[in-house]
Amino acid sequence: MKIENVDVLDIAREFGTPVYVYSLEELRRSIAEIKQLSPVTRYAMKASSNVRILQEMLNGGIKIDAVSVFEVKRALRAGFKPEDICFTSDVFFNADDVGYCLENNIFVNCGTLGMVEEYGRGWKDLGKGSNRISIRINPGEGHGHSKKTNTGGPYSKHGIWHENLDEVKRIAGTYGLIISGVHMHIGSGGDMEHLKRITSKLVEFAKQFDDLQTINFGGGLPYQYNPDLPQEDISGYKNILAERMKLLNSHFGREIVCEIEPGRRFVAGCGYLLGEVRSLNHTFDEDRKRLDYVLTNVGFCHLIRPMAYGSYHPIWFVGDDLGPEQDVIVAGPVCESGDVLTQENEEPVARRLPMPKAGDLMVVGGAGGYGFVMSSNYNTQPLIPEVVVDGDRLILTRRRQTLDDILQEEKDVQG
Given 86, 258, 301, 335, the catalytic residue = 335
Look up 335 and say whether it is catalytic.
yes
Sign (positive or negative) of CA dihedral 19, 20, 23, 26: positive
CB burial string 55-65: b at 16+ within 10 A, e below: ebbbebebbbb
Residues tagged active-site: 335
